[in-house]
Structure 1
Amino acid sequence: MTRRPRLFAWYRTVPIVIVLLFGVVSWAYAYAPAQLFQVFYPLRYEEEILTSATNHGVDPYLVAAVIETESGWDPTARSDRGAQGLMQLMPETAHDMVVKGLVDGGVYDSSNLDDPATNIEIGCAYLSYLISYFNGATDHAIAAYNAGMGNVDSWTETGDELSDAITFPETQSYLARVTTAHERYRELYPDSFL
C-alpha cells in the first residue's frame, strides 16, 4: 500500500501559518488605526514636555521618545546604575545641568528627580546640551544619552557612520528604539505640541 503525500501535512502547514501570521502583523502595523498604537506609545505630561522642550530648543516628540524608551512613562523608575525618573537621569548629570546654568536650580531641585516636571526640565536641558555638543547631530546625541559623550566621540573619530561605528549592542538597540519611537510619536500625535 503506497501512501500519497498529504496536502496539509504539518511540515507544509506550519510554514504557511507562520507566513500568514507575519502578513497579518505587517498589515496591522501598516494600516491599523492610531488608537491601537497609542496603547504602545502613550503620551503623558504634554504640558511639561512642551514647556521644557521649547525652552531648550528640543523637539518635544524626541523628548517623548526618550521617556518612552527610558522609563515607559514611570516617574519613579530606577536603573541598576542609579538613573532616576522619567528620563532616567543620573544625579550627577542633573547637578551638572544646574551648575552649567542650563537649569534654574531655584525652580528645579536636581535632587528631586522623581518629580516629572523637574526630570523633564533637566532631561530637556541635557538633550539640548548633547545636540549642541554634537553640532545638531540628533543621532549622536541619542547615542550619547545612552553611552556617554566620550564613547560617541571615540566611535566617530574615523568618520564612519555612527550606526556602523557603535560597539555597544545596547546603544545600537537604544538608538533604533528611540528613532522608531520618535517617528511613531510624530505620526500618532501630530497636534499635541502645536
Structure 2
Amino acid sequence: MPTGVALRDVREQLFGAAERIVLHDGPNALTSRAVTAEAGCAKGVLHRHFADFDAFLAEFVLDRIARLAPEAEALREAAGTGTLADNLTSALTSLFESVAVAIVALITSRDGLRARLRETLPAGVPVLTEAAGMIAAYLTAERDLGRLDACADVDALAPALIGAAHLLFADRTAAPPEPEAVRRMVTTVLAGAVREP
C-alpha cells in the first residue's frame, strides 16, 4: 500500500473488506488477517490505525450504524404516503437484507467488542436499538398524522417489529423471507393500531 494514503480512505477500504467478509462468510470468518487480505493491504495497516482488532470492529459497527441515518430520514419522509404496512415492509427488508443481521451476530459473539461498544452505546443491542429508534420515529410521525391510533405505544411497537423482523431474517443460510411474509408480520404487529382511511 502506498504511503501517505489518507486515514479515511484506509478506514473505508478496511470497513468495506470487513462488510464483504461478514456478508459472505459470516462473523466467525472476520479476523485481522482476513480483513487486510480482502482489502488488499499489509496486515500492519490495520494495526497502525486501530489500537487492536476489537477497536477496529467497534469503529466498523459505529460506522455502519451511522449509515442508517439516510434510511431513517427516508422512512420518516414516507409518513403520510402509501400504507404503513408497505412502508415498514420495505424499510425492514432493506435493513435486514443489509449487513445488520451479520453485525448483530458479530456483536453477540465477541465480548471485547461488546465492551468497547458499551463505552459509546450504553444500552440495548447496537444496530437493533438504532433500528428500533428509526421505526419509532416513523410510527410517531404516522401517529401525528392520524394514520396510527393516538393511543398506539410506538415505544412498544417499534422493538416488536424489529424483533419479529430479526427472527424472519436471522437464518443467513436460508433464502430471505418473501416480502409477503414480512408484510404479514408487520400487519399482525400493527393490528388494531392502524386507523383506516
Shorter-chain TM-score category?
under 0.3
Structure number with the higher helix fraction is 2
> Could you tell me the TM-score, scaled by structure 1's length?
0.25
